[in-house]
Amino acid sequence: MLVLALDTATARITAGVVELGEGGPVTLAARDGEGARAHAELLAPAIAEALAEAGRTRRDLDAVVAGLGPGPFTGLRVGLVTAAAMGDALGLPVHGVPTHDAVAAGHDGRLLVVTDARRREVYWSLVADGVRTHGPEVTRPADLAARLGPDGDLGPVDAVLGDAAEQVGAPAGVPGPTPAGLVAVAAPALRAGTVPGPLVPLYLRRPDAVPPGAPKAVTRTS
């Protein structure tokens, strides 16, 4: 099964062509790079380059997998709209998976996944041996750090993954999801031929832009 995997929930652009066989997902080609405020400009070229490197076309694809976030509104929306449009145009199933689950895929132990939420906050999830036990949530880095370790309610973790690891005092590590990680999370549904539900983004908070309010009344003075 040939799968296009993409994610724009973080400051990175992730796109790749993955072969899902009995032995698990194998990445044939991938593009992963910085694109914090240029997701719309960079995602389509990244997809085209990955397909070309893999020697495949869009017509060869059997499914699309997209990261659902959590992530900032604009970047995350770009990836999900692109995935939905490709699925509709090509008649392909589009499976959404939590981005934090994909970051943790392939790693064992108790893992804290932390990604940048901007506004001096982070998104976080706790994953234990492939199962998410907490989150995703959004909070301040200092508040999250206080909950870790022997005295915190979340307890100790074996590793901190994600592009905001340093914000909670951990070494920089895995910055974001890989195409193979995204497909690994969706693999049971892909293999079972499950009809995917709608793509529901994990924004976790309202967008910055809001409709303007009613104009204020002007008081006339003489």
At residue 94, what is the residue type? V
Question: Taking Cα atoms as reference points, which of 23, 127, 130, 138 lies closest to residue 73?
Answer: 138
Q: Are residues 89 and 126 in the same domain?
A: no
Instruction: Give the tens place of pLDDT for each residue, 1-59.
Output: 999 999 999 999 999 999 999 999 999 999 988 766 788 889 999 999 999 999 999 99
Q: Are residues 91 and 106 in the same domain?
A: no
Residue at 209 is within a domain: no
Q: Are residues 7 and 94 in the same domain?
A: yes
Residue recorded with tokens 């340093």 = 166
Q: Are residues 92 and 50 in the same domain?
A: yes
Burial-class residue 214 by CB neighbours within 10 Å (0-12, 13-18, 19+).
Answer: exposed
pLDDT at position 196 is 97
Domain assignment of residue 137, given as a range: 101-168
Q: Are residues 153 and 183 in the same domain?
A: no
The mean pLDDT of 74-100, rounded to a whole number, is 96
Who wins on pLDDT, 170 or 218? 170
Q: Note the maximum CA span of the chain.
A: 82
**Residue 8, token pair as written in the block:** 């724009």
Instruction: Give the tens place of pLDDT for each residue, 171-196.
Output: 987 889 999 999 999 999 999 999 99
Q: How many domains does the chain have?
A: 2
pLDDT at position 37 is 72
**Residue 16, token pair as written in the block:** 């790749």
Instruction: Give the tens place of pLDDT for each residue, 48-66.
Output: 999 999 999 999 999 999 9
Is pLDDT at 164 greater than 90 in this prediction? yes
Taking the C-alpha atoms of residue 82 and residue 75, their distance in angstroms, rounded to an integer, is 11
CB 176 within 8 A of CB 10: yes
CATH number, domain containing residue 117: 3.30.420.200
CB 129 within 8 A of CB 105: no
Instruction: Give the tens place of pLDDT for each residue, 98-140.
Output: 999 999 999 999 999 999 999 999 999 999 999 999 999 999 9
Reported confidence tier of residue 213, pLDDT bands at 50, 70, 90 = low
Average pLDDT, the chain: 92
pLDDT at position 220 is 58
Secondary structure (3-state) at 67: strand
Is pLDDT at 207 greater than 80 in this prediction? no
Residue at 220 is within a domain: no
Residue at 212 is within a domain: no
Residue at 197 is within a domain: no
